[in-house]
Amino acid sequence: MAALMESVVGRALKFSSTANFRSIRRGETPTLCIKSFSTIMSPPSKAIVYEEHGSPDSVTRLVNLPPVEVKENDVCVKMIAAPINPSDINRIEGVYPVRPPVPAVGGYEGVGEVYAVGSNVNGFSPGDWVIPSPPSSGTWQTYVVKEESVWHKIDKECPMEYAATITVNPLTALRMLEDFVNLNSGDSVVQNGATSIVGQCVIQLARLRGISTINLIRDRAGSDEAREQLKALGADEVFSESQLNVKNVKSLLGNLPEPALGFNCVGGNAASLVLKYLREGGTMVTYGGMSKKPITVSTTSFIFKDLALRGFWLQSWLSMGKVKECREMIDYLLGLARDGKLKYETELVPFEEFPVALDKALGKLGRQPKQVITF
């Protein structure tokens, strides 16, 4: 499907050079274009495209893509909502080692409604809610046409903003709790960057399993408020980094057991603090590097404390033929969201206001909720 996306975008951009784009009129309702008796065409689509790698606010632009054929095994989906994740930004910046060739449509996850199906498609009907699962590139557009195997039908009772964002962040939290250390009820985990959505999901998913969380947050305006919000989600302990300028951070553990597992999405000193908390033989999993600082580890941490350092990248995990497993977990997570057991804040932004949402996602306007574009 990546190849299809490329060819579509490629065609569109070639088209663009002839100034032959269909202009977008507000309120216009796209219609199903039928080219011939046997060919179903998608409506034309609006998409956020980047033609080169770089800062997303300078390399992305809104383009009109012409209709594409909905082949016999394809499903045409009218997107409902898609988030701007940090990984989307990194992908556009070109820092990811695996990336769709440019030009490409941005976005990697989202939720949409089936609009039309190819003649061989039986598993989907117009009106179904679907997500690309595993997620795949190109969700920042109004109509997406991909093979039916790409799509996963979901329960429409789940709030749309959770359906749009369930894979990249919540699934990362779930996998990291499952894949590295065998945790039991009564155990604890430690994490930095706890206010991130992954961090918030770790707190809630751990609590559902009876696992306590020790949460490290940055010192900044609003950290008291952040502490209360995390505690409301079920965090057992929340410390700002400055509180941890003590020789023995474990003295702050109270009755919590020393954690066997830690998560790091910050690097630098914040990663060292996670390591300090870990018990002998513990594992720290790095899944982000917000501070852009490396991780520094003493020799004795490895030899005498037997710490293990690992990494997690959802895209890599998903590439290992885990489609079925992935969809089962997504359904589990969506069920939790539907039942109010998994919560995080999102801000819905109309597609036309994409540049503002992007600025917020880039952190230009201070701390903001997860930006979710609605189409």
Provide the binding-site residues for a second copy, judged by CB under 8 A: 95-97, 267, 285-289, 292, 294-313, 316
Task: Tell me, rounded to whole angstroms, the distance of Cα 248 from its chain centroid.
Answer: 35
Tell which residue, 9, 88, 102, 18, has the closest CA to residue 53. 102
Smallest distance from the beta carbon of 177 to a second copy, in angstroms? 17
* CB-CB contact of 301 with 276 (8 Å): no
Instruction: Report residue 18 as tokens.
Output: 């002839």
**195: annotated binding-site residue?**
yes
Closest CB to a second copy among residues 33, 295: 295
* CB-CB contact of 124 with 70 (8 Å): no
Whole-angstrom distance, CA of residue 5 vs CA of residue 10: 8
3-state secondary structure of 27: coil
DSSP string covering 330-351: HHHHHHHHHTTSS---EEEEEG
Whole-angstrom distance, CA of residue 131 vs CA of residue 165: 10
Phi, psi of 317 (to 5 degrees): -60, -45
50, 96, 108, 115: the catalytic one is: 96
3-state secondary structure of 40: strand
Smallest distance from the beta carbon of 302 to a second copy, in angstroms? 3
**222: annotated binding-site residue?**
no
Smallest distance from the beta carbon of 334 to a second copy, in angstroms? 26
* CB-CB contact of 82 with 140 (8 Å): yes
Smallest distance from the beta carbon of 316 to a second copy, in angstroms? 6
**26: annotated binding-site residue?**
no
Closest CB to a second copy among residues 13, 308: 308
CB atoms within 10 A of CB 95: 11
3-state secondary structure of 299: helix
**146: annotated binding-site residue?**
no
CB atoms within 10 A of CB 268: 18
**34: annotated binding-site residue?**
no
**313: annotated binding-site residue?**
yes
Smallest distance from the beta carbon of 269 to a second copy, in angstroms? 13
Clarify whether 96 is annotated catalytic: yes
Q: Annotated binding site, which residues?
A: 169, 195-198, 218-220, 287-290, 312-314, 370
Residues placed in the known binding site for NADP(+): 169, 195-198, 218-220, 287-290, 312-314, 370
Residues labelled catalytic: 96
